[in-house]
Structure 1
Amino acid sequence: MNEVKPKATFLLADDHSLIRQGIVFILDDLDFECEVFHASNLSKILETVKENQIDILIMDAHFPEGNSLSIMPEIKEISPDTKILIFTGTDETTQSLKYINLGANGFLSKLSEEQELKNAILKIYHGGEYISSVTQSLLINSIRNPKIINPLLKLTEREIEIAEMYVKGHGNLEISNKLQIKQNTVSTVKKRIFEKLEIENILELVALMKDYR
């Protein structure tokens, strides 16, 4: 008796076509009987999910026009049954939990071996999720320390207020005038924000605030 091939509809979302094609080869190796859609940007991902029943979405974390976190709630609203595997070059130890927290069913680094990607795809297909040992440890630690998931929880209300003003483009003098505090106080708070978030510039602050606010 011939073994029944696994059937699924995949959406491969990455702005690099070589990555998508590599995943196609892996699906062939796994002997999937599947229909495969491709997307190279965020709008195409949403368009494809709206128009087709996607079983498994394998998606990069970052695209030229933005972070895939920004569309995950909409994907889940459009198609709650779609399983999402984040496959990215982004550091798993600092990034995976926020994707899992928003509904991703798995997270895998592009630095992983080919076999690990195969395992992740099969686990999501058969069991609905893939949690690596790294992310499992992070999840356990996050129960003890919620700040692991959202680094902004490290900031006080005043620090958040000032951080948001920096993100809006305000300078030290303008923040000082608006909050009626000294400029050197603003500078001190800025330094403290950077230290707590382990960042070095406003661009990194903007990215963090966009991801977590």
Structure 2
Amino acid sequence: MITVLVADDHPLFRKGLRALLGSMPGVSLAGEATDGKAAVELALSLKPQLVLMDLHMPGGDGLTAIRRLAALPDGPHILVVTMFEDDDSVFAALRAGARGYVLKDTDDEEMTRAILAVGHGEAIFSAAIASRIVAFFAGRPPAEPFPGLTSSERNVLQLMSRGLTNDVIAGELSLSAKTVRNYVSNVFSKLHVASRAEAIARARDAGI
């Protein structure tokens, strides 16, 4: 029996996963979490074999949770189930310790295959994700991290990842404190994060 913990902040998506898991012989739902912090706490208490993890959730991001769970002795296998298919998200999740990565619009047949594969310790990726991984290892030059950021926003993120405060960043870049705050807000929005710590974690995962 594969026991599964679902970590996702969208009730309707969790409902769909509940229905799918309920239709799968040899699979049972152990519990549900709505953020990364709760996912870690539930995984420690319920000890599921598999965690279906969204990457971006308010109150605790999935990447941090993946890193914590992957570091546990005999920790659960982790299958990322998310809307994000950009290179930054994919490779950050793999570096953190995920064994699989599928998109939320994956059909039931493919999702079932992914759940069973990762639940049994295999690695699996949806077609769109697999093509990115193949291209990467075929030697394609890596895409610049976070292409949606402007050069100024990227500079601010780089200084944030070094642990500098907004006031210090303003001095480093000869900008006003208000301008830096605006850039920080833009970075949060474009990276789909809710806190400075999450932005820094994503920047470091991307090698910034």
TM-score (norm 2): 0.71
Gapped runs of 5+ residues in structure 1? Answer: 1-6, 153-158, 178-182, 184-189, 195-199
Residue 76 (structure 1) aligned to one of 66, 70, 81: 70
Aligned length: 182
Is the aligned partner of 1:175 residue 2:172? Answer: yes
User: Separation in 2 of the partners of 1:111 and 1:24?
Assistant: 16
Match of residue 122 from structure 1: 116
Deviation at residue 32 of structure 1 after TM alignment? 2.6
Are 1:139 and 2:133 an aligned pair? yes
Distance in 2 (alpha carbons) for counterparts of 1:145 and 1:176: 33
Contact 2:102 2:129 in 1 (8 A): no
8 Å contact 1:49–1:78 — kept in the other structure?
A: no
Percentage of pairs with the same residue: 22
Is 1:211 aligned with 2:202?
yes
- Unpaired segments ≥5 residues, structure 2: 147-152
Q: Which one has the bigger helix percentage?
A: 1
RMSD: 3.3
Q: Distance in 1 between matches of 2:107 and 2:201?
A: 31
Matched AA of 1:12 = V
Residue 8 of structure 1 aligns with an amino acid whose one-letter code is: I
Deviates more, 1:29-38 or 1:81-90: 29-38
Residue 103 of structure 2 contacts residue 126 of structure 2 at CA under 8 Å; is this kept in 1?
no
Greater RCO (Cα-Cα under 8 Å, separation 6 or more): 2
Partner of 1:164: 158
Q: TM-score, normalised by structure 1?
A: 0.69
Matched, 1:18 2:12: yes
Distance in 1 of aligned mates of 2:88 and 2:169:
29
Q: What is the identity, as a one-letter code, of the residue corresponding to 1:34?
A: S
Structure whose CA Rg is larger: 1
